[in-house]
Structure 1
Amino acid sequence: MLITKNKKPWLHSLTQVLSIKNVLMVSICSLSFNALSFASPSDTTEIERPSIWVKNSERAAILEKIQSEPWAKSLFEELKHRADSVAVVGNKKRRNSLEELPLVWSNNKSLPPTLPTFRHKDGGSQAQLTQVVKTLQDGVDCGVLYYLTQESKYATCGADILFTYINALKQMKVYKNGAMNSGWMFPTDHLYEARVIGAQLPIIYDFVYPYLMSGGKVYDLASSKLTDFNFNAAQNVFGTYVWLALNKGLLDSNWPVLESSSLVHNILALDDSQQIKKYIPYYTHIDTTNQASLNTVAKHFVNEGDIWPESFQYSRHVAGFSVYLMTLLDRYDPSLKLGAKYPNIPGAFTSYYNLEYPNDESPYIGDGHRTYKIDYADLENSLLLAMLNNNVQQQEYFTTYLSSSIKSGLYDRGHLHNRSYGASPYFTPLQLLWSVNKIQSETDIDVTPERPRTLRLEYAGMNIQRNINKLNPIKNSLMAFVAGGSYIHGHASGMDMELYGQGHVLGVDGGKGTYRTDIHENYYRLFAAHNTVISNGASASKGDWINLGINRVKSELMEPAAGDVGVSPKHSFSTSSFFDEFNLKAPAQHERTLALIKLDENKGYYLDIFRAKSNTSNQYHDYVYHNIGDELTITSNKQAVKLAADPDRYQDSAKLPWITTGQRGYRHPGWHFFDDVKTKSSSAQQYEATFTASKLGDKNISMRALIPAGLDIEISQVKAPKAYGGSVPYNKKPLPTFLLRHRGEAWTNPYAVAYESITEGEPYAVQTVERILANDVFKGVKVGIKLNGKTLTQYILIQESSEDLYQNKNIGINFKGRFAIVTLDEQQQLLDLYLGNGSYVQYKQHKVSAKPSTNSAYKRF
């Protein structure tokens, strides 16, 4: 329907300040909110609605899709079933439907009711919030069904809901002078409101607009009668949400992306096309001091494969919401070509898979989660975006991936996604409206291809290493990561580590708790919840995001290099470094070398070498390791180690201030949450720490840590808080943990621990681990192995500098470099030489030398 309108100025103060051609960043926070005025339908230029999600010209093709494609017909029937439950006929039923909302009536019953305010003290309940969000989603569904069927019952459903919300909002206070995140129905949380309220109202308006403009009436709760829709009030609501998006929020975070659906939808709901043209650039390329544009967001996607630098669930949301809005606007205005300008944003969806463990779980970093479902709607939008922009490569990839997922039964296009009433815009009907008729590919691809052996995720300071078993990849593969960095929703973790084994992440990060709680802020986000080293009992953070800033973990060496195949099918290693700059007593330097060593298709182990030193006379360092399980036993030479109760050992941090205002102070390093602490006095003896989990399957799964003799340590056993990233049911149980404390520097002679996991009934392959020292300087470890009835010996050589030499004439080893492995059989005959980094490694008369370009080599004998 075409409606002819006259121009009327909108946002007068704003238009006087801004010049879209010249201004790159403009602060509009100081603008007078009351100076805003909004156009009514009778005053504005031509607008045809609907126009946000779809146009009238597309309706016939969508109806044909429903008739011809079984999946589309199924989606239509499910959507119709949802809408039919709320699209009622008759004034009484229309009123009853609206009264499902938590209406707030004033003493003057002639005034329309309002709705509760939420997410603040004395605000509405969670049940009321759910109903408010659900009703808006019902309104969207009804609007879509009206567009498709032209049945008035769907129009009245959507219009009644829209009218009720607008009447409520216009009586409520807009917290225009409040805090950075102040809002409207959500006085202290516009970020939340933008997604669950602001993003939905314009969509309903867009769909029911033709009905309203043709004289359709809405039900007025105050008068119990049908009445005309108030267009002026609606335009004020949309303008207010635009104002809130541009004036509230954080610039350097994911907030602008989370708020952008509200921003764009409300701009497109304005009834003056000239104003729409003027303010769309505030999404595409003009920043304000509170809202970043797509152009700014895209700077985090410079290289192919880049992802948004936050913990993974937030990173995925940024990519998904951005692709959605890019697709929406490229459909709305094909001249924008946003998909062509920013192809690396949809390209991010190819990256998350490569970060995962063999069981498809994700590394736990920051405030993340262990598992994430593939959002096929994001992939469908990415396909459509590629088609709109003639990106042949992405079009072929997403077509083939989706086609292969459908054929394999992983993706069913014929079912609507389950609704969520959490903090997310509602896009579900687009499964029907936007999805292409047929997804067919002449070729199939493996939707679960082999992941690269090594990866570097720079913003998280993460090095990932894998060694994948071909026959039973979930159970018998190895994977580990070392990580640490400062990013939004990141943790002050130090140089963290996770270890995978027997189909599960066994050596786990603590995960996250409930935001703003003591245990979340003073444990889960701090060093003690991670597999790291705490120096001087005082490793800490400062600055950056909510004062959790730490230095990024640097990648010093890695073989294979990120994305490379590697010189050896059995061996890999990484060396990472971390500067504990904000330590509360004295800064400390850390270095971690983590090796993955595969023995055969069923056996392998990890070797962790951790150096730590601090420039203070009373330095000490604690090596911390958490592993899921029902019990932890500590033995030495197969005899139980006697540990004494030590309840005060980690309690000093509990006395530190916790400054909640601005999150400026934490109780570092967080280990006062450890319980049932037991310790053995200092000794240089060897230890075995064995974690056993009996509830991961039919058989017990164990992880054994072998700690070689030769370093004076106090070993402690504790119960740490539950790990949210642990496999069920261990995500609800205390987490067994051991700590190794060495007084003095642990650099010349560092911590050394070999980890191996088994399933009950299998033998351990690693039998012994011994330190290799030369003039009291650590040079590596000697590992005794029993494999399939045969004895093997591995010399794993680790030095600080590429120029360092290690010579042992008695054994016949000569090595120059940083990392190497010499493997001998039971007759001490050479099986293979691995030069991970260095100039050469030699065993007796056999020698391998590295090419200058690689510094690595491998040879079997």
Structure 2
Amino acid sequence: MENIKKYDWAKSIVNQLHERVEGSLQKHQSDPNAILNSVPAFAKDDRENSEQKASPLASAHNKVLALASDAGYLYYLTQDEKYAQFAADILGVYIDHIAPLTPQTTTICGYEFFDPRTTYGPFAITYDFIYPYLKQANATVYSKTQKKRIPFDNAKAQKAMANVAGNVLQEYGKPDKHGKTISNHPILTASGALFSILCIEDDKERQRLFNVFWEKGTAHQNSFKNTILPMFGEQGVWPESLSYSFMPIITMTLNIVDRIYPEMNVTQENQHILNGNFLFDYLRHPNRKFVRFGDSKRNNDSTEDLYLYTLNIAERRGYDDIKQKAQLALKQSYEAKGGYKPKLEDNIFNNFQILDLFWGQPIPEKIDGRINFNKPTVIVKHAGIALQRNYVAKENEIYGLCGIIGGASYVHSHLTGISMELYGAGYVMGPNAGLPASVKERQIPLHEKYFRLYAGNNSVIVNGSSHGLDEGSWKGDAYVWQNNAVNIAAEPKHLENPIAENFSFATQFLKDEVNNCVQERTLSTIRTSEKTAYYLDIFRSKSNGENKFHDYIYHNIGDETIIKNEKGQLLSLKETDRYNNDIGDPVQSPGWRYFENTKVTESIKDGVDVTFKIDFDKKYMHMMVPKGVEREFTTALAPPTREAENGYLKKKTQVVAIRQNGEAWDKPFIAVFEPSLNSESSVQSVEPLMDGNKVVGAKVISKINKTLITDYIICQDKADSVYSNKDLKLNFEGRFGIVRLEEVKRKKKVSLYIGEGKKLGFAEKTLIVNEEYKGFKLFN
């Protein structure tokens, strides 16, 4: 009530509640059947409907149940019994239907996975918030059948609530197996279970049901303590694709349980989860859209809910460090959106949005410090993902870089090997596949046989046969099980500060036992000015058996792909059907049958420059591949990019596929990517750095105004490798290092950077580092 008096955000929520309730309340007061007759028909069995059929029915029921719960909130806030009466009358219709049933036969929308997420929550919340009114001796509800007001039957209400709780728990089903790996289903249904359990009046039965929910579990509603919480790793995030990982229900449940059973110390024991809630904001592209890996969507964002719940816990429990982080994170989130302006929405899966009002904590106007969510390196261990970012203070959305590499097997994973996603010039230019807009689209061949597989992502395919296994896959008949990519090197380390503002790198390694090969990918962000920067992608791959050929696949949004040799001459292309095939497994791996209009160059050993044009606002991605290895370049069109902007959601995606015969380890794929506002790249040339017959890096020359910048980038496959180039007077001991030479008006600057290594020498200049194996030095 203090918040409502003092703060506009709290007043706004109350005003919205009134707006949502008052009109229907007036109708109900003049004609009770006007609203009660809008209650849809009830399903007969909790496995009667599919998700597609249950969704509209759940939505229709939620429209009515939301009126009841909103009225219940208003009763709690105002103590005006007209709101409780309205809520009770709606509740009575549901009680009359559910009470005569059993837990096995209880359902509203006919889908056992949907009701606990959509309808059971507001049903229990309504009962809970108007409970003091219902317990009055003279409490009545309107009976549709008798067409008059009758005494409220609380025993019947308790029977209905027991049926709801029993239907979610399904004690009549199989037992839980503690410690097993599960999907997010029992988390999503947890609110329907917990809310209804806490409405059971009998102390012993309520405690028994809670023990089933928390300790014992069932096969349908797994133990929160012994099956769900142990799946959180050291990073404190739910181990699925990003938009599934938020799981605010986890923090909400911890908060509720901690309030009711403080002696259990559930928040004390799970502070890694509270701290894990802050990881997601580090995973945004410069336009604040999230990076995408696996079955994920960029625009799903539950960070504010996580911070609100976390702040409420930290305030109550005295976790000062977490409290300050939550306040700072919320403040920065509100600043990014122009303030906190909560809007109540008809989201059938977020029936507890109003808790923002009851749990909301005022944020101090002045808080010391900020959280730097623009760290150069972020590692998501369960997904095998490494993020690389280069941030600029001015116009970061246009000039900042952000990319990810990696892949792994987890719930809602895709089969990608070590895939890559790149941002540039306001777009996610080189996207990972992601998740379709609807559940129905997840079942279609385009998703199962393309987007979910190697060819639907930016990866390297070995011998034309890279595939996954069905055994171990999170979904039956998906064939997406793979080994996990792991981070073996990075500078800076996860969430650490960089040693150089222009350079960083991360390397992911994959021991692929499914395809009997090993792969290693390094992504580096390299800045050349406030408005120019490029990515360096080095992909090593080799089969442990026969190395027939490797295909480097890269997708970019756009309208046109222009491919030239290093002299600027257009390369001739001829039609090819080389990607109109698969290995014959049920999902048609590796998935490249969906490439259209495939045209290939002759085999070429020269360097190749590719430009992807975005006509909408004249943006470009320049891709440069150095000379030295004989390759064939195929241009193609692929299905449109999911969640693309400015009309590219409906346009075919541009694709370049590079085929290299033999291994690609000693002769790795190397590509420089420069997103730009200009049709000409600031990168002038890219050449390989050789160690005998082995490619160990690249020489990249850029021209920025009158400054000529030459970057010698050494990227070796072992931390103790040694490289010596007598012609350049360059010596390096380590995995990753950069020598930068800047020349302008006869003045020279030399930068030496060791991302991982011991010693770097260039001419008479030397950098020797300590036991941290990293360092930077600038010579004027």
- Calculate the TM-score normalised by the size of structure 1: 0.82
Tell me which residue corresponds to 1:690.
Answer: 611
Are the structure 2 counterparts of residues 265 and 753 from structure 1 closer, same or farther at C-alpha, using a change threshold of 3 Å?
Answer: same
Matches within 5 A, 1:14-413: 62=1, 66-67=4-5, 69-88=7-26, 93-103=31-41, 120=49, 127-169=56-98, 184-187=107-110, 189-213=111-135, 214-247=137-170, 252-296=182-226, 297-301=228-232, 303=234, 306-316=236-246, 318=247, 320-373=248-301, 375-402=303-330, 410-412=338-340
How many Å separate the matches in 2 of 1:595 and 1:121?
46
How many Å separate the matches in 2 of 1:315 and 1:608?
28
Instruction: Quote the offset at 1:301 in angstroms.
Output: 4.6
Aligned match of 2:591 in 653, 656, 670? Answer: 670
Instruction: Quote the offset at 1:589 in angstroms.
Output: 1.4
How many Å separate the matches in 1 of 2:52 and 2:761?
72
> Helix, strand or coil for the counterpart of 2:207?
helix
How many Å separate the matches in 1 of 2:373 and 2:193?
40
Is the 8 Å Cα contact of residues 742 and 749 (structure 2) preserved in structure 1? Answer: yes
Q: In structure 1, what residue type is equivalent to 2:398?
A: K
Q: In structure 2, what residue type is equivalent to 1:836?
A: G
How many Å separate the matches in 1 of 2:4 and 2:50?
47
How many Å separate the matches in 2 of 1:345 and 1:594?
29
Is the 8 Å Cα contact of residues 198 and 206 (structure 2) preserved in structure 1? Answer: yes
> Helix, strand or coil for the counterpart of 1:748?
strand
> Helix, strand or coil for the counterpart of 1:459?
helix
Are the structure 2 counterparts of residues 713 and 443 from structure 1 closer, same or farther at C-alpha, using a change threshold of 3 Å?
Answer: same
Are the structure 2 counterparts of residues 266 and 549 from structure 1 closer, same or farther at C-alpha, using a change threshold of 3 Å?
Answer: same
How many Å separate the matches in 2 of 1:324 and 1:775?
59
Aligned match of 1:561 in 481, 493, 504? Answer: 493
Are the structure 2 counterparts of residues 116 and 286 from structure 1 closer, same or farther at C-alpha, using a change threshold of 3 Å?
Answer: closer
Instruction: Quote the offset at 1:458 in angstroms.
Output: 0.7
Tell me which residue corresponds to 2:574.
Answer: 644
Are the structure 2 counterparts of residues 706 and 395 from structure 1 closer, same or farther at C-alpha, using a change threshold of 3 Å?
Answer: closer
Q: In structure 2, what residue type is equivalent to 1:607?
A: L
> Helix, strand or coil for the counterpart of 2:25?
coil
> Helix, strand or coil for the counterpart of 2:60?
helix
Instruction: Quote the offset at 1:309 in angstroms.
Output: 1.3
Is the 8 Å Cα contact of residues 134 and 154 (structure 2) preserved in structure 1? Answer: no
Q: In structure 2, what residue type is equivalent to 1:299?
A: P
Tell me which residue corresponds to 1:525.
Answer: 452
Are the structure 2 counterparts of residues 733 and 233 from structure 1 closer, same or farther at C-alpha, using a change threshold of 3 Å?
Answer: farther
Is the 8 Å Cα contact of residues 118 and 186 (structure 1) preserved in structure 2? Answer: no
Is the 8 Å Cα contact of residues 814 and 841 (structure 1) preserved in structure 2? Answer: yes
Structure 1 residues without counterparts, runs of 5 or longer: 1-61, 105-113, 177-182, 659-665
Instruction: Quote the offset at 1:777 in angstroms.
Output: 1.6
Instruction: Quote the offset at 1:200 in angstroms.
Output: 1.9
CA deviations over 1:587-622 (Å, ceiling 9, x no partner): 221111222221122222111111111134362111
Q: In structure 2, what residue type is equivalent to 1:536?
A: N
Is the 8 Å Cα contact of residues 506 and 726 (structure 1) preserved in structure 2? Answer: no
Is the 8 Å Cα contact of residues 239 and 411 (structure 2) preserved in structure 1? Answer: yes
Aligned match of 2:551 in 602, 622, 637? Answer: 622
Identity of aligned residues (%): 28
> Helix, strand or coil for the counterpart of 1:732?
coil
Is the 8 Å Cα contact of residues 236 and 277 (structure 2) preserved in structure 1? Answer: no
How many Å separate the matches in 2 of 1:791 and 1:434?
57
How many Å separate the matches in 1 of 2:48 and 2:23?
29
Matches within 5 A, 1:388-537: 388-402=316-330, 410-412=338-340, 415-421=342-348, 424-436=349-361, 438-443=362-367, 445-446=369-370, 449-513=372-436, 514-537=441-464
Is the 8 Å Cα contact of residues 328 and 370 (structure 2) preserved in structure 1? Answer: no
Are the structure 2 counterparts of residues 638 and 160 from structure 1 closer, same or farther at C-alpha, using a change threshold of 3 Å?
Answer: same
Q: In structure 2, what residue type is equivalent to 1:603?
A: T
Is the 8 Å Cα contact of residues 89 and 142 (structure 2) preserved in structure 1? Answer: yes
Once the two structures are overlaid, the 10-residue window that deviates more, 736-745 or 195-204, is 195-204
Higher Cα radius of gyration: 1
CA deviations over 1:231-276 (Å, ceiling 9, x no partner): 4443333223333333379962222211111111111111202211
Instruction: Quote the offset at 1:404 in angstroms.
Output: 6.5
Q: In structure 2, what residue type is equivalent to 1:551?
A: N
Tell me which residue corresponds to 2:705.
Answer: 788
Matches within 5 A, 1:761-840: 763-825=680-742, 831-840=750-759
Q: In structure 2, what residue type is equivalent to 1:192?
A: F
Q: In structure 1, what residue type is equivalent to 2:309?
A: N
Is the 8 Å Cα contact of residues 540 and 580 (structure 1) preserved in structure 2? Answer: no
Instruction: Kindly tell me the number of residue pairs found equivalent between the two proteins.
Output: 759
Are the structure 2 counterparts of residues 808 and 77 from structure 1 closer, same or farther at C-alpha, using a change threshold of 3 Å?
Answer: closer
CA deviations over 1:404-456 (Å, ceiling 9, x no partner): 7668873336x4432213xx1411332333334x4435435447x35212121
Q: In structure 1, what residue type is equivalent to 2:74?
A: L
Are the structure 2 counterparts of residues 358 and 860 from structure 1 closer, same or farther at C-alpha, using a change threshold of 3 Å?
Answer: farther
Q: In structure 2, what residue type is equivalent to 1:367?
A: D
Matches within 5 A, 1:562-581: 562-581=494-513
How many Å separate the matches in 2 of 1:239 and 1:315?
31
Tell me which residue corresponds to 1:849.
Answer: 768
Instruction: Quote the offset at 1:474 in angstroms.
Output: 2.1
Q: In structure 1, what residue type is equivalent to 2:270?
A: Y
Once the two structures are overlaid, the 10-residue window that deviates more, 370-379 or 702-711, is 370-379
Q: In structure 2, what residue type is equivalent to 1:581?
A: E
Are the structure 2 counterparts of residues 748 and 372 from structure 1 closer, same or farther at C-alpha, using a change threshold of 3 Å?
Answer: same
